[in-house]
Amino acid sequence: MINWVRVALCGMLLVMVSLVLMPVQILCLWLDLKPRRRLPRHWHRVACLLLGLRVRVHGELDRRRPLLLSANHVSWKDILVLSSVADVVFVAKSDVKSWPVFGLLARLQASVFVEREQKRTTGHQVNDIGRRLADGEIVVLFPEGTTSDGNRLLDIKTSLFGAAASAVPQSPTGVVHVQPLAISYTGIHGMPMGRYHRPIAAWPGDIGLVPHLLGVLREGALEVDVDFGEAVDYDRHANRKEVSRLIERRIRKMLSDRLRGRSRSAAKLEPAALSAAPDVPSDARRSR
Best-predicted range by mean pLDDT among 59-68, 124-133, 145-154? 59-68
Residue 140: pLDDT band (50, 70, 90) is very high
Domain borders along the chain are 2-274
Q: Cα separation of 242 and 118, whole Å?
A: 24
Render 44-96 in DSSP notation, one character per residue: HHHHHHHHTEEEEEES----SSSEEEEE----THHHHHHHHHS-EEEEEEGGG
Is-contact 90 106, C-beta < 8 A? yes
Q: What is the mean pLDDT of residues 190-201?
A: 83
Residues for the chain: how many in total?
288
- The SS3 call for residue 100 is coil
Find the mean pLDDT for residues 271-287: 39
In CATH, the number for domain 2-274 is 3.40.1130
Per-residue burial over 177-192, b if 16 or more Cβ lie within 10 Å, else e, is: bbbbbbbbbbbbeeee
Per-residue model confidence (pLDDT) at position 265: 58
Q: Which residues pair with 113 in a beta bridge?
A: 92
Average model confidence (pLDDT) across the chain = 85
Which pLDDT band, with edges at 50, 70 and 90, does 281 fall under? very low
Is residue 47 scored above 60 in pLDDT?
yes
What's residue 266's pLDDT? 54
Kindly give the pairing relationship between strand 112-114 and strand 138-141. Answer: unpaired
Give the model's confidence band at 126: pLDDT under 50 very low, under 70 low, under 90 confident, else very high. Answer: confident
Residue type, 232: V
Q: Is the pLDDT score of 252 beyond 90? A: yes
Q: Residues 6 or more apart from 76 whose CB is under 8 A from it?
A: 102, 203, 209, 212, 213
In degrees and rounded to multiples of 5, residue 38 shows phi and psi of: -95, -35
CB 123 within 8 A of CB 73: no
Helix-strand-coil split of the chain, %, nearest 5: 45, 20, 35
Closest CA to 138 of 104, 166, 109: 109
From residue 149, give the alpha-carbon distance in Å to each of 93, 99, 141, 224.
Answer: 19, 21, 18, 14
pLDDT at 127: 80
264-271 LR contacts (CB < 8 Å, sep 24+): 265/58, 265/59, 265/227, 266/58, 267/56, 267/57, 267/58, 267/225, 268/56, 268/57, 269/54, 269/55, 269/56, 269/57, 270/45, 270/48, 270/55, 270/56, 270/57, 270/84, 270/85
Q: Which DSSP symbol is given to 134?
A: H
pLDDT digits (tens, 9 = 90+) for 29-43: 999 888 899 999 999
> Which pLDDT does position 116 carry in this prediction?
64
Question: For residue 241, what pLDDT is reported?
Answer: 94
Confidence band (pLDDT; 50, 70, 90) for 197?
confident
Query: Tell me, what's the pLDDT at 264?
Result: 58
Span between the terminal Cα atoms of the chain, in Å: 28
Burial of 216 (0-12, 13-18, 19+ CB in 10 A): buried
pLDDT mean over 103-107: 89
